[in-house]
Each structure stands twice: as structure tokens, then as C-alpha cells.
Structure 1
Amino acid sequence: MKKSNGHQIIELFEKWSPKRLAFEGDPVGLHIGQLNRPVDKVLVTLDVNEQVIDEAIENGASLVIAHHPPLFRPVKSIMTDTPQGKMIEKCIKHNIAVYAAHTNLDIAAGGVNDMLADRLGIQQTEPIDITDSEHLMKLAVFCPLEDADAVRQKLASAGAGAIGDYQACSFSSQGTGRFTPVAGANPTIGEVDQPTLVDEERIEVVFPESQQAKVIKAMFAAHPYEEPAFDIVKMQQKINEQGIGRIGQICKEMTLKEFGQHVKDVFGVPALRFVGDPEKKIRKVAVLGGDGNKYITAAKRKGADVLVTGDMYYHVAQDAQTLGLAIVDPGHNIEKIMITGVASKMTDLCKENKLAVEFIESTVITEPFQFLS
């Protein structure tokens, strides 16, 4: 195992939960400090406050990974006699960096909403609402027959030609290439000012749009020509669809009242609110961590019997009732499930990459609400 710095840890984290998945305007990324210092302990937390930073100091953690951004709105001043100012001051004094992954961690495969769905026993899940996808691209490149295998292999090593459970997929056709090198050229085949005919192969591969630069670089590295002839086409087909929330089936039908008790038990909340007939049958369940007020229509459109989410507004609850969609609101704080989930995932990723990092789960209670029974 080797020592690590903040950049290496966050690089691994962002391969799992890339910032590009975050909603527009969501302030994800580094909030306080810097990442170019050594890190051997990381504290994982839902929220960041002064008590959490005290916990990081006590445990010797020099990096905090949080779900909720501590600086959600622009800061015009840092007054160190305010709670936020004290928290920032302690981070700076103790060289603690704070990194936030919010809606990108909600959307990422294996992220917050998948963790919630798994805990509830929801199977065969899909997003409630698609928020990110990319086009499939097609590359067609022409090269001499004797170099075709090398070009195909290099493209495959860059990820081109991956289709479902198949790798290195390509299509080839043969023909004759014609060109005339002019003054200044250094042709691999042929001579300057002499028309040249070459038996060539046209290689076609598909790849995700996000991999275009890597695929083109691989093509140039393997191709023998100074000026390879190639086409790139953006296809209508979209791939790698990801989105917010999850919806699927639970294995056993329950009444809404029974399901509400199930939610209460699995998340360990002292109380919850629900909307709908207590005897309504529940089989198809949608879940969205945090504030799910904007997604009642999408959940209903997907066929959900109930939406599990937090911070439900009074009038939105009435709208859901009118739609015939049951609501179970166990509160926003159930997203604390990400503490154990992120710590476990990042421990595995760091071990795979031989980085000596310990991930510590925050035990600070950040739930602001208390309940009277």
C-alpha cells in the first residue's frame, strides 16, 4: 500500500460519482482547503458543521467528504464569531479539506438513491427521471490492410467497440484508397507527386461520446499514415442513461400502513408522515432522497403506488393525493445512509488502487428535528 493525497482519493471518487452528473448550479466539489496534501484518514458525513470538524480533528482526518454542500450559497464574508465562520476557521487552522458530492452522488450508480432502494428491498430499479445521457458515436477509419489488426486492437483498448456484454466489436469492408503526396509530405506508402493506390480496409466502431478524445488519440497512435482519413458521426441512439430517484418492485405486497412501518423500521426514524389510504396496496415503490416535491408527477407516470421522500410540502402532498399517489415522508435525514455507503465504497476503491487510506464514519447527529409522542 502507498501513501495518498487528496487528489488521488477524489479522482477515484469522481470516477464513481462524476461532477458532471450534478444538477446545474449545485455547488459540488472542493469547498474548503486544498487536495494536494497527504491524506491517510477521511471522515465521511451527511452534513458539515463545527461538531463534525471537531470530530475530524479528533480522529486525525485531513479530508471530509460530505453529501450536503456546507457553502451552498455564495459567501460574501467569513466572520469567525459565527457558526459557519468558526467551522471554516477550524478547517483552515487544522489543514482540513472539505469536499461535497450532492446531486451527483444521488444520481450515480450505487449512490444515495440506490442505497435507499436497496435498504427498502426495491428490485429491478430504474431512475424516476432521466437527467443525464450521452450519444453513441461512430468512427470509420481507412487504413492499409496490413495495419488493420493493429488499428482495431488499439481502438478496442481505448474502449471503442464495447456493446453491452461484448468487447472489441467492429465492422470492416475493403476497397482501394487513392492519394497523391505533395511537396512537404513524408508518406508511409508512395512517393511525392506520384498518384498512389493502396488496398485499404474501412474499420467502423462505436463508442460513447465522452470517450471521443481517447478513441481519436488511440487511432492516431496506431495508424501508419501522416494524415489518416476518418469520419465521426453522432448517432441518434443515446446510452448510459442515468437519473434521479429509483423506482421498482418490492417482493411482497403490503398495505400503505404496513409499508410505512417498514420504512420507519429500516431507516430507524422515530416517526414519519404519510399520505393516502392506509389500506392501499403497495407493490411498486419510488424513492428519492432529500426533497422530492418536484417528482410526484414523474413517479406517478412511472406507475408508482407510493413515493418515499423527504420535506414534502403541504400543497404538494395534496396534489399527490389528488393524483392517487401515496407519499411516505421519513425525513431528509435518511440520506445519512450515504455515510456507511460511501465509506465502504471508497475503502474498496482505495484498496484496489493500493492507497493506504482509512475512511471514518461520522457519528455526529445532524438531524435538527425532535419528536413528541
Structure 2
Amino acid sequence: MSLSLAEVTAVVHELWPLSGAESWDASGLVSGDPAGDISSIHLAVDAVSDTVDEAIDVGADLFLVHHPLLLRGVTTVAEDRYKGALLARLIRANCALLAAHTNADVVADGVSDILAQRLQLQNSQPITESSEPGTGIGRVGRLARPVTLGHLARVLADLLPATASGVRVAGDYAQEVQVVSLCGGAGDSLLAHPLVVGSDVYVTSDLRHHPASEAREQAKVSGGPALIDVSHWASEWLWLDTAAAQLRAALPGISITVSDLRTDPWDFVVMH
């Protein structure tokens, strides 16, 4: 069975509507003939050399990624630049490229929602709600019972695929936490949000020195959450299996595969 790329793209945008994407985002179809036939789809977080090779090797007609390859503006797709080289390889292999980024972050069963579900948060709700009720960036909810910060960090380490950077924590190991806010991917823009400030711990990725330090110092003055920093790729990779299941239900007869390749950029860490 096959459908046109235009038909498959329409289904993808029903699952993850472009109306939910942030204004700065570049979700949607990147390359491919809308009239072309699609019989297989391969999913990954990132379009990088290894995952592009994998998509081509498994014979995918469509490579569906979370992170847009062309999120930032480019002025060339020459093949001596990696983005041009990747696009050329996909085009020559007749494999289209489509991104579902922030539009897949905000929905029910989206990136942050899946992380909240895997942590078994109760009464989970978005941190910043979109126009559609129940959708929005991040999630905040309660654990069934209080646990130590160290225990929660261990739960996350076991839940997420392993990476060199592991799980970093700012806070007392024995501190009890129950109200958890989280944002899959980079989330330091939410550090000052009232729902984050009012939680016991905030789980996200890519926390930089100054925002993290300032948040922890402010917590000493007026209260605020402990911080758990996890791999950006790992926090979003959990969503792929759910996305694949949704696509299988919506596109019966289309082959759907998921990449297990680690595309976290860090390879090893050296400790004293």
C-alpha cells in the first residue's frame, strides 16, 4: 500500500497541527514531491548523517524528524555544507523529509506529555496553555507520593536512553519532591514561570550556567524548584514510539520504523 506524500503530510498535520507550532519554528515538509508515493516512514529526533543513512538503508520514502534541519536560515545547500549534503542524499534516494517540532511538543501525547506520563504524574497540565485546552508547552503535575530528589533523578536515568552527559541535578539529594514541572528539550525560558517556580523540581534540558545559577539563587530568597537537567535528545526520543503508534493507526498498511541511534552530540565525559 502507498499514499501520496501530500496525503501522508495531511495526516501528520492532523496528528500534530501546524497551528500549534511556535512562530519561530520551521515544522512541515522540507523536501520531496507531494505527488510521490509513500509506503514507508522512518522516525528520528534529528536529521544527521547517521540517521539519514539509516533512513535510506531501510528504504524509507519519508524521513520524519522532530528537529527541523532548516530551523535557522541558510543561504546555500551546496554539498560542501552538511545540510546541503544531507538534503542531496535524501533527494537522490527519493526519500522526503518532514519535521514535526513544536507542533508535536504541545499536543496531548506529545513530547512533554509522554515524559509526564512515563513519570506517572497525576493531574498533569501544560505550563503555558495554547488556545486548544489541554495543549501547550511543558507539563506540571504531582507524583503519587513524595520521593527524594535523588530517587527521581535515578528514575529519570533509568527511564531515558543512556548518554554521556547523564542526569545533572541542582538541589539536595535527600530533599523531598512531589510537584514536578518539566519541558522536553530546551526549557530554560520557563524557569521564571509561576508554575515552574511553584513546583518542587523542574526537569528539562540544555540548562545554561547563568539561568540555572540565577534560578537557584532566587530560590534561596523566595523559593523555587530544584533542577534536573537531562539530555535534550533523550528527553524527546521517548516520544518516537508513541508517534509511530499513532501513525500506524492513522496509516494502516504503511511501514513505520523508529531509529534507535543516539544523536546526542556528546560522546564521553572525563571526571576527576
TM-score by length of 1: 0.67
Structure 1: tracts of 5 or more residues without a match? 134-238
Q: Deviations over 1:308-360 (max 9, x none)?
A: 10000111112221222111011201211122121111111223xxxx20111
Distance 1:260 1:44 in 2: 28
Q: Percent identity?
A: 29
Aligned to 2:269: 371
Indicate the structure with greater strand content: 1
Q: Deviations over 1:148-191 (max 9, x none)?
A: xxxxxxxxxxxxxxxxxxxxxxxxxxxxxxxxxxxxxxxxxxxx
Aligned to 1:348: 249
Structure 1: 4+ residue segments shifted above 3 A = 299-302
Aligned to 2:190: 295
Aligned to 2:71: 72
Aligned to 1:273: 168
Distance 1:299 1:305 in 2: 12
Contact kept, 8 Å, 2:125 with 2:134, in 1: the verdict is no
The answer to whether residue 179 in structure 2 is matched with residue 284 in structure 1 is yes
Aligned to 2:123: 124
The answer to whether residue 227 in structure 2 is matched with residue 332 in structure 1 is no
Distance 2:39 2:105 in 1: 26
What is the root-mean-square deviation in Å for CA atoms of aligned residues? 1.6
Structure 2: tracts of 5 or more residues without a match? none
Q: Deviations over 1:200-228 (max 9, x none)?
A: xxxxxxxxxxxxxxxxxxxxxxxxxxxxx
TM-score by length of 2: 0.91
Q: Deviations over 1:76-133 (max 9, x none)?
A: 1122123222111111111111100111100011111111111112121100112x21
Distance 1:300 1:108 in 2: 19
Aligned to 1:158: none
One-letter amino acid of the structure 2 residue matched with residue 10 of structure 1: T
The answer to whether residue 30 in structure 2 is matched with residue 40 in structure 1 is no
Distance 2:140 2:240 in 1: 22
Query: What secondary structure does 1:309 align onto?
Result: strand
Cα distance change, pair 119–74 in 1 and its aligned pair in 2 (3 A): same
Contact kept, 8 Å, 1:64 with 1:97, in 2: the verdict is yes
Query: What secondary structure does 1:348 align onto?
Result: helix
The answer to whether residue 138 in structure 2 is matched with residue 245 in structure 1 is yes
Distance 2:80 2:74 in 1: 15
One-letter amino acid of the structure 2 residue matched with residue 359 of structure 1: I
Q: Deviations over 1:32-77 (max 9, x none)?
A: 2223211110000100012222111111101011000011112211
The answer to whether residue 150 in structure 2 is matched with residue 257 in structure 1 is yes
- Say which one has the larger Rg: 1
Distance 2:174 2:86 in 1: 47
